Amino acid sequence: MSEKLLNDRLLRALRRQPVDVTPVWIMRQAGRYLPEYRATRQRAGDFMTLCKTPELACEVTLQPLQRFDLDAAILFSDILTIPDAMGLGLSVVENKGPRFARPLRSANDIRKLAVPDVEAGLGYVLDAVRLIKRELHGKVPLIGFAGSPWTIATYMIEGASSKNFSLAKGMLYGQPDRMHQLLDILSRSITDYLNGQIAAGVDVVMIFDSWGGILSHAAYLEFSLEYMRRIVRDIRTAGRGSEAPIILFTKGGGLWIDDLAGSGCDAVGLDWTMDIESARSIAGDRVALQGNLDTAVLYSSPATIRRHVAEVLAGFGKGDGHVFNLGHGIHPDIDPDKVAVLVDAVHELSRPYHK
């Protein structure tokens, strides 16, 4: 069983149970907008060293909790650790993003892939989880995460981020069997990875489908959501995984709220383009909802931030099952003081919505 937490608002909200105020955490809350993060990053020397050194990953995971009254910590890592463990040679270039030294360019490249042993290939992540849990002392839940099979596949095929995803989409439409082969091995790898994180101590897991929104309706259901559904199912049947709430987030996924709500997950993350009142109407009481303030609101005045927080809270309305978050990750040039305004406003203004 999970340890007793001093603040379990997030877990209660994800299970659609009563809370005193709406819980709040922020995607990329441990990141470049914090000067203390930048100092730790400089000390590490490069991004991958920061990810692969459990003590440093723990340090940056805890930094935002020392500044803000957040209701969760999220593991500091990267969605591309799995393909790195598969031997594709990940590096992260400053101001340019991830690069793979050996992207997938042939059927043989895919055939050679194997599900990585989590302890052997990704043990540094599990070590970070164990260390973070010890350092949290039960203060708040710890969120673990992975990228979705489709999102990870795009990087493995393109070799980097992309504007039009021509190689990945070309495989999807031109060689669908090959794409399914890749997505299958990734879904099994992600299931093992998330189960490993849960066994190491994370309380919640989230799947980031950053590029699901670039797909057509039919392609999304077949090549993205189906594989996330499999992961949810397989986590549910694996030991402690049945206890850990699962959040699915598809950027640009507003068209598929009904499908996501029927996937078996506990919560659906909403980006900033989706009206939360409409999403709640569609999802009903099947799932909790997470989101969905536009990150750019944090460039505005404290009064404006509070007004937009109030609008999101009013959009969801009274009742249980709302986790406040941004509609995407926080931008590197956001003033941390604005984050404090956001967090405090959520707790203060949400109280009337709960019994």
Known catalytic membership, residue 78: yes
Active-site residue, selected from the candidate residues 9, 12, 16, 28: 28
Structure-token pair, residue 244: 């850990």
Known catalytic membership, residue 234: no
Let me know: does 30 contact 100? Beta carbons within 8 Å. Answer: no
Q: How many CB atoms lie within 10 A of CB 55?
A: 10
- Give the integer Cα–Cα distance in Å for 64 and 41: 15
Active-site residue, selected from the candidate residues 78, 127, 259, 320: 78
Q: Among positive and negative, which fits the CA dihedral 277, 282, 284, 287? A: negative
Known catalytic membership, residue 155: yes
Q: What is the dihedral of CA 296, 36, 95, 105, to 10 degrees?
A: -100
Q: How many CA atoms lie within 13 A of 249 on its CB side?
A: 25
Structure-token pair, residue 247: 């959040």
Let me know: does 330 contact 342? Beta carbons within 8 Å. Answer: no
Active-site residue, selected from the candidate residues 12, 16, 41, 178: 41
Active-site residue, selected from the candidate residues 32, 67, 130, 240: 32
Known catalytic membership, residue 41: yes
Active-site residue, selected from the candidate residues 16, 33, 127, 155: 155
Known catalytic membership, residue 43: no
Catalytic residues: 28, 32, 41, 78, 155
